Structure 1
Amino acid sequence: MDRQPILAGERLLLRPLAARDWAALYGVASDPLIWAVHPAHDRWQEPVFRTFFDDALAKGGALAVIDVASGAMIGSSRFQNHHPAHGGSVEIGWTFLARSHWGGEANREMKRLMIGHALRFVERVLFVVGAQNLRSRRAMEKIGGRLKGVREMRMMAGGPVEHLQYEITRARFAAGPLA
């Protein structure tokens, strides 16, 4: 599976994240309100975001999200934890968007592009969401994510945070467009 494809939609272009994207992406991420309900609520701070950005480049699978109309960088997302065995799965996450693109089509289009790409190679796509991050949980439900019975703890902003796992299977995705 190519974890850094170029994916083009009507409103968005997703392309591999590169080191040269630092200034534009931090320009988006430096808004504290993006992270207010996120488990990594301190990610707007430059040293914290630098660690996040460097990790994205080191692990691969990170995508820059570009608004086609303006050409502006508006966020990023990642394909990580690809497991090809037994039908396969990949996790989509580490996603954030500029507040100017909240509540509209951007998140749905980005996820449709990424899920459609991933499900050409794996049977299911996983999303791990902070249990208290109600905004992201609602967004997952809007695009058809099914809450699984899997809970895990991840270190975020200096402490353990409970996360829940959602999935979208190839069959679910093929059944119809995501809401």
Structure 2
Amino acid sequence: MDRQPTLETERLTIRPMTEADREPLYAIASDPMIWEQHPIHDRWKRDVFDAFFDEGIESGGALAIVRKSDGQILGSSQYKGFDPDDGGSIEIGWTYLDRSCWGKGINPEMKRAMLAHAFQDLATVRFRVGDTNYRSRNALEAIGAARTERYELAKYQGKRIVHLVYEISRDGFENGPLMRG
């Protein structure tokens, strides 16, 4: 599966993230409200963001979300964690969008394109989300992702972080809310 495709939707171009996107994306990520429910709640800080951005570039799966009408960068998302077993799966995540996009259907539009691309080759898409990140959990449920029994534990700044694992299957996507809406 190509983890850095260029995808087109009605309003968006989703393309590989490049070094030139660092400053426009930091302008978005520097808003602390974007990260307030996120387990790594300080990505608005320059040094934390730069490490996050660098990791995304190095991963080979980072994407920039661009508004077609004016070329403005609206945020970023990533494909990571390819697993070839059981028909293949990948994780979509590390998504953040400018607050001006919230409630405007940008996230579902972007996720529909990313999921459609993944399901050309794979059977399952996973999402990991912090257990207290209710905004992201609600967004995942709205696109038809189901919470699994799995979870992951990690630490950040000496505190325990719990990530819940959500999934959507190819069939769940094809018959789910993103394809009906």
> TM-score when scaled to structure 1?
0.96
C-alpha RMSD over aligned residues? 1.2
Q: Match of 1:22?
A: 22
Structure 1, residues 67-111: CA drift from partner, whole Å, max 9, x if none?
A: 112211110000000112220100000000000000121000010
SS class of match (1:86): helix
Alignment of 1:96-175 (within 5 A): 96-156=96-156, 159-175=159-175
Deviations 1:27-81 (A, max 9, x none): 1111111111111110000000000000001111000000112211110000000
Q: Does 1:89 align with 2:89?
A: yes
Q: Counterpart in 2 of 1:12?
A: 12
Structure 2: 5+ residue stretches without partners:
none
Q: Give, in whole Å, the separation in 1 of the partners of 2:88 and 2:169.
A: 10
Q: Secondary structure at the match of 1:66?
A: strand
Partner Cα distance (1:132, 1:56) in 2: 23
Is the contact made by 1:39 and 1:157 (CA closer than 8 Å) also made in structure 2? no
Work out the number of aligned pairs and report it. Answer: 179
Structure 1 gap segments, 5+ residues each: none
Give the TM-score taking structure 2 as reference length. Answer: 0.95
**Alpha-carbon separation, structure 2, partners of 1:136 and 1:176:** 18
Alpha-carbon distance change, 158 to 76 in structure 1, aligned in 2, over 3 angstroms = farther
Report which stretch shifted further, 159-168 or 8-17.
159-168
Offset from partner CA, 1:143-163 (integer Å, 9 cap, x none): 001111001113345533101
Query: Which 4+ runs in 1 deviate beyond 6 A?
Result: none
- The worse-fitting range, judged by mean Cα deviation, of 2-11 and 156-165 is 156-165
Identity across the alignment (%):
48
After superposition, what is the alpha-carbon deviation per residue over 1:97-154, rounded to whole angstroms, capped at 9, x for unaligned?
A: 0000001210000100000000111100000010110000000010001111001113
